[in-house]
Amino acid sequence: MVLKVKEPSRILFLAIPVKVYLNFFTGELAQLSLSEYHVKLLVFDPDREEIVQWID
């Protein structure tokens, strides 16, 4: 909420490790929640230190 007030043009992404994405965020309930609340994801591989996917 603070960023929404202070910097309304900023786009926020939730950063999650690829294993968490594959084990949880690909499920039906998680996908419905992401869609309902317009959550944007940044999926990363912590071992390789790289971004795997941006999900808008």
Reported as a single tens digit per residue, the pLDDT across 5-44 is 999 999 999 999 999 999 999 999 999 999 999 999 999 9
Instruction: State pTM to two decimals.
Output: 0.83
DSSP 8-class letter at 1: -
Domain span at residue 9? 2-55
Residue 4 is predicted with a pLDDT of: 84
* Domains of the chain: total: 1
The enclosing domain of 15 has a CATH number of: 3.40.1350.10
Q: Cβ(52)–Cβ(25) under 8 Å?
A: no
Cα of first residue to Cα of last residue in the chain, in angstroms, is 19
CB atoms within 10 A of CB 22: 13
